[in-house]
Amino acid sequence: MRIGLFLTIALLLGGLAATILALGGGAGWEEALLLGLPLGLVEGAIVLAARYPCQSAPLRASGMTRALATQATAALASAGAWVILGGILARMLETLPRYGGAAIRFRGGAPMLVVVGALVFLLAAAAHYLILALETARAAEVRGVEARVLAREAELRALRAQVDPHFLFNSLNSIATLTGEDAGAARRMCLLLAGFLRQSLALGGRDRVTLGEEIALVDEYLAIEKVRFGERLLVAREVDPGCEGALIPPLLLQPLVENAVRHGVAQRIEGGTLSLRARRRGEEIAVTIDNPRNPERTGRRGAGLGLENVRGRLRSLYGERARLEVATPPEAFVVTVTLPYIVEGPRTAAAAGAEVSLAG
């Protein structure tokens, strides 16, 4: 492929040189080709090698003069060397009686050859600059794609991290205990845990889920925790019927509910009621998770990080249109997430408008 390109260029340049020698110097076509074709091969090599000065003197606003000077010098030097080589070849050819006076005839075409040689070099340099620019753009694009892939992976890692491994270990411990005393209960707990894991993997793999789906996942989680905490964990749930179809990022509420259990209800000997409310307020939905806490335990070490994660996700997905607010009355911890109210495709006003315009 490379060789083919090189030979094509060499042949074209050889033809050009031969034409100049025949027309400008008055050489016969046979003599002109004998000199022109080797010169074409040499110039072909020079054209390909022009990439290196282009790389070492890139076209930048700051280094423009330097780049132009470098290229002009290289063009003149290569053209000069090229023509001197041609002169040597002509003198060698002259030794054959058939081509007597070839050197003098060559001298007639030489000025034109210098000009053409320099122009060809500059043209080649321009082409190389273009190729280098395209390569750079392509590399940047590849880097951009890589960066997006990395960002996505980071998001997935964040999602995975949101299912607390300690929750899994504690649940497994509950199952291990139940196997010895109530096989049926152990089995139910296994099924609950499997259902929760399956559902969180399924939801975690999607861009958006409905609030109803997320709440169903939270319910499974709470059912498992109820086995562990028994009477200490009570749940109150209040979801406006209009909210269930709203689209939210997957596993957004789950870590908040987990926090409410781990740092709230579990820190109280008497336990308490965790309440989850979802309301629609105009073009927004507000989800509130309200849990009692133990006022003696002020530090919510892990909780702060979990809240920051959720805040970060909301910011990157919705910018200013979503927020997370925390209120801490003396014996409670209240987190409210407010998001734009968005529902599945065909039901949105914009999509409905699009359908109408298509129909019209």
Partner 1 sequence: MPAETLRVVIVDDEALARRGLRRDLDALGGIEVVGECADGFEAVKAAADLKPDLVLLDIRMPRLDGFEVLSLLDPGIAVVFVTAHDDQAVRAFEVNAVDYVMKPVDPERLARAVERARERRRRREPMPVAAIGAALRPPGEMLSRILVRDGARVHVLPVDEVDCIEAQDDYIAVHVAGKAHLKQQTIGDLEAALDPGRFVRIHRSWILNIDRLDRIELYAKDSRVAILKDGRRLPLSRAGNLRLRELL
Between 178 and 289, name the residue whose CB sits nearer to partner 1.
178
Q: Is 246 helix (H, G, I), strand (E, B) or coil?
A: coil
Query: How far, in Å, CA of 171 to CA of 258, rounded?
Result: 13
Task: Write down the least CB distance from residue 272 to partner 1, Å.
Answer: 11
Name the minimum Å distance from CB 328 to partner 1: 16
Q: How far is the CB of 313 from partner 1 (least distance, A)?
A: 24
- Give the up-direction half-sphere exposure of residue 232: CA atoms within 13 A in the CB hemisphere: 16
Name which of residues 319 to 348 contact partner 1 (CB under 8 A).
Answer: none
d(CA 48, CA 19): 22
Give least dist CB 231 to partner 1, A.
9
C-alpha 8/C-alpha 350 separation (Å) is 57
Q: How far apart are CA 341 and CA 153, in angstroms?
A: 27
Can you tell me which of 151, 297, 345, 351 binds partner 1, judged by CB under 8 A? 297
* Residue entry with tokens 């959720």: 310
Asked if 187 interacts with partner 1 (CB under 8 A), we say: no
Would strands 272-281 and 284-292 be described as parallel, antiparallel, or unpaired?
Answer: antiparallel
CB 31 within 8 A of CB 102: yes
Minimum Å gap between C-beta 187 and partner 1 is 15
- Whole-angstrom CA distances from 194 to 50, 175, 189, 201, 209 are 65, 12, 9, 11, 20
188 binds partner 1 (CB under 8 A): no
Q: How many residues bind partner 1 (CB under 8 A)?
A: 26
Nearer to partner 1, 137 or 172 (CB): 172
Residues 262-291 that bind partner 1 (CB under 8 A): 266-269
Q: Which of 261, 278, 250, 272 is nearest to 331 (CA)?
A: 272
Cα–Cα–Cα angle for 96, 98, 104, nearest 5°? 80
Question: Counting contacts by CB under 8 A, is residue 223 touching partner 1?
Answer: no
Which listed residue (176, 183, 191, 194) binds partner 1 by CB under 8 A? Answer: 176
Closest approach of Cβ 351 to partner 1, in Å? Answer: 47
Q: Which stretch binds partner 1 (CB under 8 A): 19-27, 204-212, 226-234, 332-340?
A: 226-234
How is residue 116 written in tokens? 């053409």
Determine the Cα–Cα distance for residues 300 and 335; give it in Å rounded to an integer.
13
Q: What are phi and psi of 87, to 5 degrees?
A: -60, -45
Residue 184 as a binder of partner 1 (CB under 8 A): the answer is no
228 binds partner 1 (CB under 8 A): yes
Q: In this chain, which of 4, 97, 184, 230 binds partner 1, going by CB under 8 A?
A: 230
User: Who's near 162: CB < 8 A, 6+ residues apart?
Assistant: 251, 254, 255, 258, 306, 309
Which span sits near partner 1 by CB under 8 A: 98-106, 133-141, 228-236, 244-252? 228-236
Q: Does 172 bind partner 1 (CB under 8 A)?
A: yes
Q: Kindly give, in sequence order, each residue whose CB lies less than 8 Å from that of residue 186, ignoring residues fewer than 6 positions away.
A: 175, 178, 179
| Residue 175 lies near partner 1 (rule: CB under 8 A) | yes
Residues 238-267 that bind partner 1 (CB under 8 A): 266-267
Q: How far apart are CA 360 and CA 356, in angstroms?
A: 6
Is 309 a binder of partner 1 (CB under 8 A)? no
Stretch that binds partner 1, among 102-110, 177-185, 212-220, 316-324 (CB under 8 A): 177-185
The residues that touch partner 1, with contacts defined as CB under 8 A, are 166, 169-170, 172-178, 180-181, 227-230, 266-269, 294, 296-299, 301
